[in-house]
Amino acid sequence: MRDALRRLVVWMHSDRYPTWSMPESTVHSLEEALGPGWTVDVIREPTFAGGDGSREIPPAVLRAVADAEIYFGFGISRDLFLAAPRLRWVHSAAAGARASLFPEMCESEVVLTNSAGIYAEPLAEWAMAAVFYFARGFDVAERGARECRWPYDEMAAFGHPQREVAGSTIGIVGYGGIGRSIGRRAKALGMRVLAVRSRSPDGAVEGADESFGPEGLVEVLERSHYVVLSLPETSVTTGLIGASELARMRPDSVLLNLSRGGIVDEDALVDALGSGRIRGAALDVFREEPLPADSPLWTLENVLITPHAGAISPRFWEREMDLMVSNVGHYLAGGRMENVVDKRRGY
């Protein structure tokens, strides 16, 4: 080793997007939490905040992790992991963990934690904004504005697309930290909340009027005016919403995807939207990102597209720092850490 100090390496830096660069105040908080005998190496090379550590790893990062005990980044790649034989704990500032679960990581005793829940508040607000966008016909009004046309007939005639949010039903597929935050807001607005969890619930679920295991997905799709996808992408959930599932949704329903693009069959969704089989879709994530210019999703009038930006918040580092500092304390004390990823389940 370069010295006798135990080492935490942090690679959370973006030249283009300050939102994803760890501030110095957070670095100081980590140093204080670790205490004497530790050093914190902060790598200022640009990284990719999408959850896989980076598409390319600069040599400076590989050198830094060679004797690191802890690594903090936006996920970790296989090459980076193999360059760090002393690792005992990896923390990801991303919510998803799939890209970090390569065989060597899964077979190791290295603890992997993620930031699930850190993004719950802004994503819940994104979901509710999308609900109101379609409930009040803003898509119709926006189209009229673009065409310099007064769309009153479309918004007021028989069969108009508007409804009151209160009294409508929202199905939340994936009822973790993000799902519960959405559920709380929906309940406060007078909505009926149906929750789908990865396992059948044993009893009442916080904030939900009804709760289901995976076997209840179809029933929730059939009953919901709004279907929110807030679950991790795993081998089980990839392609979860395909043509048959979309066919079970109400014709006046809206699909909201704020988790991962691979959970939805995008071609089937385009068909359902283009044919008017469902009312609309609000999408923050896509099969390919950035969304290609030739994607038919761009041309559909009943789609709200945001560029995987639903989680952006000026309070991100406040919440992330609290989680990291808390887990540093647990790690040093040998206690149970928060947000430990189940490598077998994938989240």
- Residue pLDDT, tens place only, 263-284: 999 999 999 999 999 999 999 9
Decide: 256 and 228 in contact? Cβ < 8 Å: yes
Q: Which two tokens stand for residue 85?
A: 């034989």
So what's the pLDDT on residue 164?
97
Is the per-residue pLDDT at 55 higher than 80? no
**What number is the average pLDDT over the span 314-329?**
97
So what's the pLDDT on residue 51?
59
87 closest CA partner among 101, 70, 108: 70
CA–CA gap between residue 117 and residue 109 (Å, rounded): 24
Is the per-residue pLDDT at 3 higher than 80? no
So what's the pLDDT on residue 110?
98
Domain with residues 6-118+313-333, CATH architecture: 3-Layer(aba) Sandwich (3.40)
pTM for the full predicted model = 0.94
**What number is the average pLDDT over the span 75-98?**
96
CA–CA gap between residue 280 and residue 252 (Å, rounded): 8
Give per-residue pLDDT as tens, 221-230. Answer: 999 999 999 9
CATH 3.40.50.720 is right for the domain spanning 120-305: yes
Start and end residues for every CATH 3.40.50.720 domain found in the chain: 6-118+313-333, 120-305
Is the per-residue pLDDT at 2 higher than 70? no
So what's the pLDDT on residue 52?
54
CA–CA gap between residue 302 and residue 89 (Å, rounded): 44
So what's the pLDDT on residue 47?
92
CA–CA gap between residue 171 and residue 61 (Å, rounded): 43
| pLDDT confidence band for 203 (50 / 70 / 90) | confident
Question: In percent, how much of the chain has pLDDT > 70?
Answer: 98
Q: Which two tokens stand for residue 156?
A: 């007021």
Q: pLDDT higher for 50 or 74?
A: 74
So what's the pLDDT on residue 199?
83
Sheet containing strand 303-305, strands side by side: 210-212, 192-196, 169-173, 226-229, 254-257, 280-283, 303-305
Catalytic residues: 260, 289, 308
Q: Which two tokens stand for residue 124?
A: 């819940």
Mean pLDDT rounded to a whole number for the chain: 95
**What number is the average pLDDT over the span 18-35?**
96
